[in-house]
Amino acid sequence: MALRHFLGHPWRTGTLLASLSLAACAGNGVGLDANGQPVGTGGGGPPPPLSADFSSIQANIFTPICSVCHIGGGAPEGLRLDAADSYNLLVGVPSTEVPSLDRVKPGDPDNSYIIQKLEGHAAVGAQMPFGCPTTQPCLTATTIAFIRQWISNGAPPPAVATVHAAPLTVTSIVPDAVEPVNESPPQIMVAFNHELDVWQIDSRSMHIEKIVPGESTASTLVSEVVPARVSVSNANLRALMVWPSHQLASGHYRLVINAGAPTQVSDLAGNSLALAVPSESGESVISTFDVEVHP
Amino acid sequence: MIQRLTLAALLTVFVALLGVVPVQAEPYLAVMTGYKCNVCHVNPTGAGMRNDFGVTYAKVLLPEETVDTVLDSWTGKITDRLRFGGDLRTDWSRDTAPNTASQQAFALEQFRVYADFTVIPERLGIYVDEQIAPNGSINEEAYVRYGNTNEGFYLKGGQFYLPFGWRLQDQTAFVREVSGISMTTPDKGIELGYEHAAWSAQFDVTNGAANAATGSGYQVTSQVVYTKSLWRLGLAGSSEQSSGGDRRMGGLFAGLRTGPIAWLAEGDLVHDDSLPGGRTLAAGLLEGDWRVHKGHNLKLTAEYSDPDRAVRNNQQTRYSFVYEYTPIPFLQLRAGYRHYFGIPQNNLQNQQLTFLELHGYY
């Protein structure tokens, strides 16, 4: 009776029908990948079935769910989970919330921080995906089991990443020049497209400089050289970590490969890092970043 | 073409709503009653602690049955200067999505407490909105306000929700997600507000969500609302400067009461340069709340989202059916069903959510 009364007014019925007609407005997805981007620009094609393989996990979980927030310079905890960055920022890299735990510890899912975050029993912060289960579904136990299995298998990289056709280059750095960080970074993470030759890299390979930028590279003044400990993750030979010897105060910094050092950044095939033209001193700058520490 | 037709349909519905003469912290209540937000809430932009009238409304007019208890004199006031309030929402929900195992869970959605201390009546006050659970204590709002929030100018400083469009209870509504301004995203800064007769206006300068960790950049947000007993119209705009890319957005929203039904509509357009290549996003909301009987409300919503205006065939829609039953003062039961429609390649864009919620408040 009440419904008849409601629908008895033509304008009400019309408005209701107009509302319902919006159902037809959902995109049909033609020509798009799972992220709603044109095929070819965002990875392309439907994702493979979920399996205990990194490419599958990336396509089914990290890209469509996690990288909605974990992307770009503002990614929470500096953890970018887009296809270009995720592996190198996950495997063998200490978490920023609980530095004693690696985000992914190959062979040990129980002590991999990502599993603790996904299962909701991490010591710090909320369960991921953020807001689950209220605003979005949590990952099911079955889904998490695939990630567990991948980690138990040693967290192998995606198969395509082992092809060394391209020269050795940096794929991502955290922190980078996009946004300043508001506290001294405990480490600088440099990810590469190839596995590195750990025997060719040690703390003589690079250092951090505090700089006063000039109008050109040549006029840039170095106000402090910050020694750093350099190491390659045993679990991920494509992730290089640089640990400053002390906390960095506010200022402009750059990460520099030491000129003439007996050790150099190179991959297992012996290819040296392809960088921009070295400075007059022969040093090569990998990255610049700003620290803005607020009291 | 589909995008143009969709926008045309939204615009048509919006204009039709404005053209029809005959129309409760849910904004539909404000539309239903014709009140401005500050009539029921301590916060002049709505949500959070209820004032004397708001508590009285929740006791007497909202529930199906008025209960004679010692609560008859309760308005949240401990003393003339100090007032407390709170909301607790707990629910059971079930998510289903294509090619994905369904999951269900009981969850404590939120337990929030409010406190307001009037230092100098109608001139100076301190307000706090703290989420106690889940995940430990999180401050939502904490600000000092100077001036009369019922008439004339006032100033707020501290952390607060930004004024932009309808302050919906559902934080996952497309218009709230696309704008990035909701009751989960308070910001720190100052707000200059103005209340006079049918007019409400705010001008905010805050850090901006993208600048929370960088210590640089800012966000300017402004909103103007004109409220009459049967309808209201609001305009909002915001610009955020960030080293990661600027973000600008505008929103138009309206409310209309037609008999037992309150209608809400909102359309937002966002241009975000922090996304790869820069993107323009759009979102729309149409909501109808039918007061079936005292204490009973049927809420139907239709939503639209275009996450990238430059890409075809990627639009999303969402439909919700929610029944709200308020049997006695300070207790509400909600049952709802939401169905998402998106591109078939993405399971989450086609999920279905069923929920039952228990909402206690005081």
State which of A180-184, A264-268, B42-46 shows the largest mean pLDDT.
B42-46
Question: What's the rounded Cα separation, in Å, for the pair A140 and A129?
Answer: 11
- Whether chain A has a CB inside 8 Å of the CB on B13: the answer is yes
- Say whether residue A15 is in contact with chain B using an 8 A CB cutoff: yes
Least CB–CB distance from A133: residue in B103, B288, B345: B103
Q: What is the pLDDT of residue A231?
A: 78
d(C-alpha B111, C-alpha B134), whole Å: 7
CA distances from B234 to A125, B253, B276 (A): 37, 5, 31
Model confidence at A84, pLDDT cuts 50, 70, 90, reads confident
Give CA–CA dist B139/B112, Å, rounded.
9
Residue B45's identity, in one-letter code, is: T
All residues at 6 or more sequence positions from A154 whose CB lies less than 8 Å from its CB, including other chains: A106, A107
Q: Do B341 and A142 count as a contact with CB atoms less than 8 A apart?
A: no
Out of A25-39, B1-15, B181-195, B249-263, the most confident range is B249-263
Distance, CA of B137 to chain centre: 21
Any idea what the Cα angle at residue A80 is, between residues A75 and A81, rounded to 5°? 125
- Annotate A227-264 with b (16+ C-beta within 10 A) or e (fewer): ebebbbbebbbbbbbbebeeebeeebbbbbbbeebebb
Task: State phi, psi for A95 to the nearest 5 degrees.
Answer: -75, 150
Domain locations in chain B as residue ranges = 2-361
| Same domain, residue pair A196 and A128 | no
pLDDT given for residue A146 in this prediction = 85
Half-sphere exposure of A33 (CA within 13 A, CB side): 16
Taking contacts as CB-CB distances below 8 angstroms, the residues of chain B near A22 are 6, 9-10, 286, 302-304, 317
DSSP state, residue B256 = E
Pick from A8-22, B112-126, B195-209, B292-306: least confident:
A8-22
pLDDT confidence bin for B323, thresholds 50/70/90: very high
Contact at CB, B243 and A180, closer than 8 angstroms: yes
Query: Do A120 and A67 sit in the same domain of this protein?
Result: yes
| Superfamily for domain range B2-361 | Porin (2.40.160.10)
- pLDDT at res. A70: 79
Q: Which of A27-36, A268-277, B268-277, B330-339 has the lowest mean pLDDT?
A: A268-277
In a domain, A58, yes or no: yes
A218 within 8 A of A198, measured Cβ to Cβ: no
pLDDT greater at residue A294 or residue B283? B283
| Strand ranges in B207-273 using DSSP code E only, listed in sequence order | 218-227, 231-241, 247-258, 261-272
Whether the Cβ atoms of residue B171 and residue A136 lie closer than 8 Å to each other:
no
Q: What pLDDT, on the 0 to 100 scale, is given for residue B189?
A: 95
- Mean pLDDT confidence for A8-37: 62
Q: End of a domain among A135, A159, A183?
A: A159
Least confident of A244-248, A278-282, B23-27, B88-92: A278-282
Task: Please calculate the CA angle B307-B355-A60 and round it to the nearest 5 degrees.
Answer: 45
Is the pLDDT score of B21 beyond 70?
no
Does the beta-carbon distance from A22 to B304 stay under 8 Å? yes
Report residue A218's pLDDT band, with 50, 70 and 90 as the boundaries. Answer: low
DSSP H or E segment with residue B133: strand B124-133
Same domain, A182 and A249: yes
* Whether A174 contacts A89, CB under 8 Å: yes
Share of chain B above pLDDT 90, in %: 55
CB contact under 8 A, B100 and A294: no
Average pLDDT over residues B228-235: 96
Mean pLDDT of all residues in B213-218: 69
Do A86 and A167 lie in one domain? The reply is no
Q: Using CA atoms, how far apart are residues B103 and B101, in angstroms rounded to an integer?
A: 6
What is the DSSP-derived secondary structure letter of residue A59?
A: I
Same domain, A134 and A230: no
Per-residue pLDDT band for A71 (boundaries 50, 70, 90) equals confident
Q: Any chain B CB within 8 A of the CB of A270?
A: no
Mean pLDDT of B110-115: 92
Q: Using a CB-CB distance cutoff of 8 angstroms, which residues of chain A are in contact with residue B342? A: 26-27, 29, 36
Instruction: Please list, in sequence order, all residues whose beta carbon lies within 8 angstroms of the beta carbon of residue B334, skipping any fewer than 6 positions away.
Output: B91, B322, B323, B324, B325, B355, B356, B357, B358, B359
Q: What is the DSSP secondary structure assignment for residue A220, as one 8-state letter?
A: -
Using one digit for the tens of pLDDT, what is the confidence trace for B45-82? 988 999 988 888 888 889 999 887 666 677 888 898 99
d(CA B55, CA B45): 17
Last residue of a domain, one of A125, A159, A193: A159
Please check whether residues A120 and A205 belong to one and the same domain: no
Q: Residues B297, B318: contact at Cβ < 8 Å?
A: no
User: In b/e form, how buried is each residue of B70-80, taking b as 16+ CB within 10 angstroms?
Assistant: eeeeebbeeee
**Which pLDDT band, with edges at 50, 70 and 90, does A295 fall under?**
low
Find chain B residues with C-beta within 8 A of A28's C-beta: 313, 343-344
Q: How far apart are CA A246 and CA B122, in angstroms?
A: 52
pLDDT-based confidence at B17, cuts 50/70/90?
very low
- What mean pLDDT is predicted for residues A213-225? 74
Looking at the fold, whether A152 and A168 belong to one and the same domain comes out as no
Domain boundary among A159, A177, A200: A159
A122-136, A185-199, B239-253, B317-331: which has the minimum mean pLDDT? A122-136
CATH number, position A184: 2.60.40.1220
Residue A148 lies in a domain: yes
Q: What is the CA radius of gyration of chain A?
A: 24
Q: Is residue A20 part of a domain?
A: no
The CA distance from B326 to B51, in Å, is: 19
Q: Which residue of A has its CA nearest to B305?
A: A26
- Cα separations (Å) of A171 from A106, B31, B299? 21, 53, 49
Are B9 and A32 a contacting pair at CB < 8 A? no
Residues A32, B342: C-beta atoms closer than 8 Å: no
Strands (E) across chain A are located at 170-174, 188-192, 206-212, 221-226, 228-232, 239-244, 251-257, 284-291
Regarding predicted confidence, which is higher, A21 or B339? B339
Percent of chain A's residues with pLDDT above 90: 2
Instruction: Convert A96-131 to b/e letters by CB count within 10 Å (16 or more is b).
Output: bbbeebbbbbbebbeebbbbbbbbeebeeeebbbbb
| A115 and A86 share one domain | yes
Q: Which helix (H) or strand (E) holds B146?
A: strand B138-147
| Residue scoring higher pLDDT (A258 or A91) | A91
Residue B214 has pLDDT above 50, yes or no: yes
Q: Does A34 touch chain B (CB under 8 A)?
A: yes
Mean pLDDT confidence for B16-24: 32
Place of tokens 């228990």: B358
Strand partners, B116: B83, B127
- What is residue A161's predicted lDDT score, i.e. its pLDDT? 42
Directed axis angle between helix A10-21 and helix B2-19, to 10°?
150
Residue type, A281: S
Residue A221 C-alpha from the chain's centroid: 31
Please count the structural domains in chain A.
2
Q: Which two tokens stand for residue B142?
A: 């904490």
Measured from the Cβ of residue B92, the count of other Cβ atoms closer than 10 Å reads 13
| The total number of residues written for chain A in this structure | 295
Query: CB of A74 within 8 Å of any CB in chain B?
Result: yes
Which structural domain range is residue A200 located in? 163-291
User: Cα angle vertex B315, ends B311, B321, to 5°?
Assistant: 170
pLDDT at B9: 45
Which pLDDT band, with edges at 50, 70 and 90, does B12 fall under? very low
Exposure string over B175-192, b if 16+ CB within 10 A, otherwise e: bbbbbbbbbbebbebebe
**Confidence band for B98, pLDDT divided at 50, 70 and 90:** confident
Q: What is the pLDDT of residue B131?
A: 86
Is the domain of A243 the same as that of A279?
yes
What lies within 8 Å, CB to CB, of B212 at 6+ separation is: none
- Nearest CB neighbour to A26, from listed B101, B276, B341: B341
A213 vs B231: which has the higher pLDDT = B231
- A25: chain B residues, CB-CB within 8 Å: 2, 5-6, 9, 304, 315, 317
Other Cβ atoms less than 10 A from the Cβ of B35: the count is 19
Q: Is residue A78 part of a domain?
A: yes
A236 lies in the same domain as A258 = yes
- A33 touching B, CB under 8 A? yes
CB within 8 Å of chain B, chain A residues 145-204: 178-182
pLDDT value of residue B23? 28
- Percent of chain B topping pLDDT 70: 89
Same domain, A174 and A228: yes
Query: Poorest-confidence range of A46-55, A223-232, B184-193, B202-211?
Result: A46-55
Which of A260-264, B135-139, B184-188, B244-248 has the weakest average pLDDT? Answer: A260-264
The reported pLDDT for the residue numbered B72 is 67
Residue A21 located in a structural domain? no
| A167 and A287 share one domain | yes
